[in-house]
Structure 1
Amino acid sequence: MAFTVLIVDDEAHARINLRLALAPLGDWAVAAECPSAASARGFLQTNPVDLVLLDVQMPQESGLEMARFLSRLEQPPLIVFATAHRGHALEAFDAHALDYIVKPVDERRLHQAMARAQVLLEQRALYTRALRQFTDPAPGFWRELIVRSVGRMDKVALNDVLWIETAGNYVELHLAQRTLLHRTTLTELVQYLDPDEFLRVHRRILVRRDAVLGLRQMPEDGYVVALRGGRSLPVSERYWAAVKAALEGCAPAVR
């Protein structure tokens, strides 16, 4: 689904120019074009948007006043000012605008601003999903995790996770090419994982069933599960019988 943008400018040719400049951007859709702040407010009452492209100098109500209104919304859109007047730049950034573009708008410059906005919106969407994942989990088992780290968030499909291992107050998510730290405990996470897909082999370790090549006995009388990719993981005495039965298709694993 495309991100939505509202164009607010009192000059018709300026609105047309912005719409045409946005046309090549497949991830953006123009929701509406408004000739005034008042008409934009009316539109936004029933049509929230992701970003507002806003002129500064307009009759009756300026873009800066409109920005103050937007900032009070429950979910305020991002704001990019597009104006012929350079002198309002400081005021625009005081209004927490994402960017400030001088008209006549350079298409490349506009595209840079929209790319920056898209990154922020995608991160915001991931953050919202991450919060909901723990505060209001969807019914059924999880199919993905939102993993937060310094300066970024990653969406991880559980189908790509080979095994999960406790690491203090975190778990390590082991994928084929990388390992990610996710802030939760294994005890908490296992409640949301499908036991037909993940198998507990140790109090500290869950493995993905379709990643397991076999159960092997070691010379020291211990057992390991061999995973695709060449990794072997220990199977504790508590779990080895249940693991053996599960791999033979006889019983679910002990949690």
Structure 2
Amino acid sequence: MTEDSIRPQRARTLTTEDLLLVLFQPDSGTIAGENTLFYVLAAGVLTDLAQRGQAAIEDAGIHGTLIHAAGEPPEDELLRPTWDYISQKPRGVQGVLAANGPTLRRPVLDRLIERGDLREQKRRMLGLFPSTALVDGDSGRRAKLVAAMRAVLVDGARPSDDIAALVALVSASGSLPVLDREIPWSAATATRAKSLERGDWAAGAAAAAVTRTMTAVVANALIVGAVVANR
């Protein structure tokens, strides 16, 4: 499996969408890390904005790291609310995640369903009560993303910027071990994932370097948020 084989499909998607798709567990129909999912998706949005040159970070000294809007407002309606929020004034990353994450799950899920990456299946609990279950779609995109992640973490392949960001955010969310059947969990895997969380990957272009830095900042915020949420 090569990176080139997934690029045509991924050109139309966001890191935020990839996150939810990879966290979906086909065997159970559940999404890993539901209790902190809003943090994770909000972190994905900030990464997407950084990739597009529409968000940047600044060192505010004793006030820590702040995030502010850059460039033109995004046309994508999934990204625009966060851009509007950080365009009002520079914001702390934890505040951005908390303010913009809670509304993201359903619209991101709707995109994956519309694209055929996931499907909603009508069922009846105990044969009586109607319910809706998530099942893997027929696009094959989740399998390709997971294969690309495994190539980086297990085989030592050099990641593209988008796969590096995806691995870093899944790892920072604490959900990477859940993918053990697909991406074998080991000390080496954990070490590689942690290096990507810190932004330790090659980034040639200036925009890629901004993405790497933003990913490291939001990954650290995710770790803190997960600790607080699980207390």
Q: Same fold (TM over 0.5)?
A: no
- Structure (1 or 2) with the greater strand fraction: 1
TM-score by length of 2: 0.24
- Structure (1 or 2) with the greater helix fraction: 2
- Which entry has the higher C-alpha Rg, 1 or 2? 1
Which gives a bigger RCO, structure 1 or 2 (Cα 8 Å, sep 6+)?
2
TM-score by length of 1: 0.23
